[in-house]
Amino acid sequence: MSAYRDKDPLIHGIQSKIRVVPNFPKPGIMFQDITTLLLDPKAFKDTVDLFVERYKGKNISVVAGIEARGFIFGPPIALEIGAKFVPLRKPKKLPGKVISEEYVLEYGKDCLEMHVGAVEPGERALVVDDLIATGGTLCAAMQLLERVGAEVVECACVIELPDLKGRERLNGKPLYVLVESR
Amino acid sequence: MASQDEQDPRISKISSAIRVIPNFPKPGIMFQDITTLLLDTKAFRDTIDLFVERYGGKDISVVAGIEARGFIFGPPIALAIGAKFVPMRKPNKLPGEVISEEYSLEYGTDIMEMHVGAVQAGERALIIDDLIATGGTLCAAIKLLERVGVHVVECACVIELPELKGRERLGDKPLFVLVSST
């Protein structure tokens, strides 16, 4: 599901602040740069508010954010809805005991880690990232949370690249985005 | 002002929510882990509030956060005080035109980058990170902002390791921390 209808003017404002940088990080990729959104305090606040409106009062106790741009959007949402913030990180960044989930990249593999004990069984969780492309990272994030018995209520991203079919890869888990970019 | 008065009940709760992990990332280092603070919704809220109380209404238009843990604390502060958030990143992460500042590590050097055009000359800025150790990273961030004509009002961290003398390395730049860890 994407935000639309009566949220249109806000969405349009947010979308207009996202900068597309061609050929980054490699030739052929049109990179969706959210840093320009962060330079506009109103648009950044609107972005957070749209997620907060959707998730407040839904008994969500965990907001998991994917390193590193999920760290920008996740904490403000967590603070507003009264949830804890759980960083999901690349390998060897989190100190202490972690659980790991490997996932497939276009070429090769990567790994996402979460602290043991950060999340209790039965907790209701959101996963937040700036963007969903193929859905690989979000899938790994959901796996980590489900492995410890949390319920992933929804994945939330600012931007979706629908041509990459990430939504299908989420295996029926709901996805909420503000902006679609084709 | 170096840090908040010990009598403030918010500070002691924040301090006790921080977990120390011995021998991470290498033997001999007592790692100050703020992820446990993020799991304590009240303590995380209080952490942000303490910074917002200090910086709100001071005409600060830029909050620069250092990758990656500065991305967790910076945006909620920026949103609350109506400033833009500017991520300061490791090399090759920011798309488009950047300026770079090299800085020394214990062994070797590293590079910090900021987007060209993110900030304007004359703007007043805060720099946020979770912790100040030797002050090398914060110094690099100060340089990046000053190179484009920004006035760095203060550096703000949750934790200071005073034995590493980071405060002196900042020279004339003020430092504000919540917790001093010896």
A58-106 residue pLDDT tens: 999 999 999 999 999 999 999 999 999 999 999 999 999 999 999 998 7
Q: How far is Cα of residue A79 from the mean position of the Cα atoms in its chain?
A: 16
- CB contacts, 8 Å: A82 with chain B: 41
Among A54, A69, A80, A160, the active-site one is A69
- In angstroms, the CA B86 to CA B67 distance is 10
Q: In angstroms, what separates the C-alpha of B174 from chain A's closest C-alpha?
A: 24
Catalytic site includes residue A69? yes
In the structure, what pLDDT confidence band is assigned to residue B3 with cuts at 50, 70 and 90? low
The residue assigned the tokens 């020279």 is B171
ipTM of the complex: 0.96
**Model-level pTM?**
0.96
The residue assigned the tokens 């990046």 is B144
Instruction: Report B:139-178 residues touching A (Cβ under 8 A).
Output: none
Strand partners, A33: A19
Pair of tokens at residue B142: 């100060």
Pair of tokens at residue B72: 């967790």
- In angstroms, the CA A46 to CA A44 distance is 5
Instruction: For A13-46, write each residue's pLDDT tens digit.
Output: 999 999 999 999 999 999 999 999 999 999 999 9
B154, exposed or middle or buried, with CB in 10 Å at 0-12, 13-18, 19+?
A: buried
- Asked if B142 and B88 touch (Cβ cutoff 8 Å), the reply is no
Residues 6 or more apart in contact with residue A106 via CB below 8 angstroms:
A134
Whether residue A39 and residue B84 make contact (CB cut-off 8 A), yes or no, is yes
- CB contacts, 8 Å: A21 with chain B: 95-96
Whether residue A31 and residue B67 make contact (CB cut-off 8 A), yes or no, is no
Pair of tokens at residue B95: 């798309």
Among B6, B19, B54, B69, the active-site one is B69
The chain A residue lying nearest B120, using CA atoms, is A39
Paired sense of beta strands A19-22 and B84-88, if any: unpaired
- Asked if B164 and B133 touch (Cβ cutoff 8 Å), the reply is yes
- Asked if A35 and B78 touch (Cβ cutoff 8 Å), the reply is no
Residues 6 or more apart in contact with residue A117 via CB below 8 angstroms:
A97
